[in-house]
Structure 1
Amino acid sequence: MLKIFSTQVSGLLKAISDKEEQSIEESSRLLAHTVLSEGTVYFKGFGEMEAVVSEALFGENKFRRGAEFTDASWEELLPVDSVVVASRFADDFEALDFCKKVKEHADCYVILLGGRRKEAVLETTADIVIDTKAARGLVPLDDGSRIGVPSGLTALFAYYALFLTTEEILEEYDEE
């Protein structure tokens, strides 16, 4: 089972690198703009996606001008800020509702990380959606079901893609 899982996860990470490259680049430009404008990059995670918030704020490589989105953030939210929202699925009602409220409240940049399910119709107010590719289990069982949904793992990979690309953009400005 582990061999199947690791092979499948490698494929998902490669798919994020290849197929989400443009979304990651565009998102990183928006986030760099927030940092350079001295805005705040807020992180909000739903469920297990709190791991993205934790990594962004407490990991070895903290996101510049990063902060956790809390109830108090509504009062501080400005159009120059950005909000990175992480949910298991890109069509998660709670996450989509949150994105909509952020846009209505401050019309700042909103980036949504989540797995796109094939059958889902994605309508969101997020400026950019980055598909984490983890929408179902990767390991088939004898009864036809699947286990091993690596949503947290692929979301953290997508976060690091954002972090590294944003840092690369900011380094260009630091050198000037």
Structure 2
Amino acid sequence: MLKIFTTQLSGVFKRIEEQEDETIEDCSRLLAQTITGNGTIHIKGFGELEGIASAITESSESLPACASYGENIVKAGDCILAFANNARNIELEKLITQTESEGISVVSVAAVEKGDEPVPNEEFHIDTKLLMPLVPGEDGERIGYPVFMLALYVYYALYFNTNEMLAEYDEEF
């Protein structure tokens, strides 16, 4: 089963790399602009991804100016990096709608089901491509839903791109 899981997970990573690269670049540009503009990147995870904020902010590889959502007041010039298992997460949609009216950008990271209407912030949405567990079991049920691993993969894609952009701005960490 581990070989199947690894193969399937590698395939999802590859699809993100191939299909989301332009969006990741655009989102990284927004994060770099937030940092160079002295704003804060507020990290928020919904449901099983609640721990992503501490995984990112407590890491030695945290982007500058990151804080867990709710630690500070979100103000103009800030942005939010939000993670959910599905783009139709009601709390995620509510956050996007609320902050959009306040002029605050949200980079959202979640799976998008085919046929879904565009997500509210489609310009800054990264699709994790994980709609169901990866490994078929003997009973027909699928297991292995590594949503946290994919969220971290996307974070690192943003981290690498944003650091590269900040280096161009001669920012020091």
* TM-score between both structures, scaled by the size of structure 2: 0.92
Partner SS, residue 174 of structure 1: coil
Cα offset for 1:123?
3.3
1:156 aligns with 2:130: no
Q: What is the aligned partner in structure 2 of residue 95 from structure 1?
A: 92
Cα offset for 1:15?
1.1
Cα offset for 1:116?
1.5
User: Which aligned pairs between 1:1-176 and structure 2 lie closer than 5 A?
Assistant: 1-70=1-70, 73=72, 76-104=73-101, 106-125=102-121, 127-174=123-170
- Spell out, residue by residue over 1:143-164, the C-alpha distance to the aligned partner (whole angstroms, 9 max, x if none): 3221111111111100110111
**Structure 1: how far apart are the matches of 2:138 and 2:159?**
39
Measured at CA, do residues 126 and 118 of structure 1 come closer, stay the same or move farther in structure 2, by a change above 3 Å?
closer
Q: For the Cα contact (< 8 Å) 2:42–2:74, is it kept in 1?
A: no
Report the residue type matching 1:145 in the other structure: E
- Spell out, residue by residue over 1:71-114, the C-alpha distance to the aligned partner (whole angstroms, 9 max, x if none): x64xx32221110010011111111111111112x312111001
Q: For the Cα contact (< 8 Å) 1:46–1:87, is it kept in 2?
A: yes
- Spell out, residue by residue over 1:3-41, the C-alpha distance to the aligned partner (whole angstroms, 9 max, x if none): 100000011111111111001000000110000000111
Q: For the Cα contact (< 8 Å) 1:86–1:112, is it kept in 2?
A: yes
Cα offset for 1:172?
0.7
Identity %: 36
Q: For the Cα contact (< 8 Å) 2:96–2:121, is it kept in 1?
A: yes
Q: CA RMSD in A?
A: 1.6
Report the residue type matching 1:41 in the other structure: I
**Count of matched residue pairs:** 171
**Structure 1: how far apart are the matches of 2:88 and 2:157?**
21
Which structure shows the higher helix fraction? Answer: 1
Report the residue type matching 1:87 in the other structure: A
Tell me whether 137-146 or 88-97 shows the greater mean CA deviation. Answer: 137-146
Report the residue type matching 1:133 in the other structure: K
Cα offset for 1:119?
5.0
* TM-score between both structures, scaled by the size of structure 1: 0.90
Report the residue type matching 1:136 in the other structure: M
Cα offset for 1:142?
2.8
Extract structure 1 runs of 4+ deviating beyond 3 A.
Answer: 119-123
Structure 1 unaligned regions, length at least 5: none
Cα offset for 1:67?
0.8
Cα offset for 1:49?
1.3
**Structure 1: how far apart are the matches of 2:168 and 2:115?**
41
Partner SS, residue 51 of structure 2: helix
**Structure 2: how far apart are the matches of 1:144 and 1:121?**
30
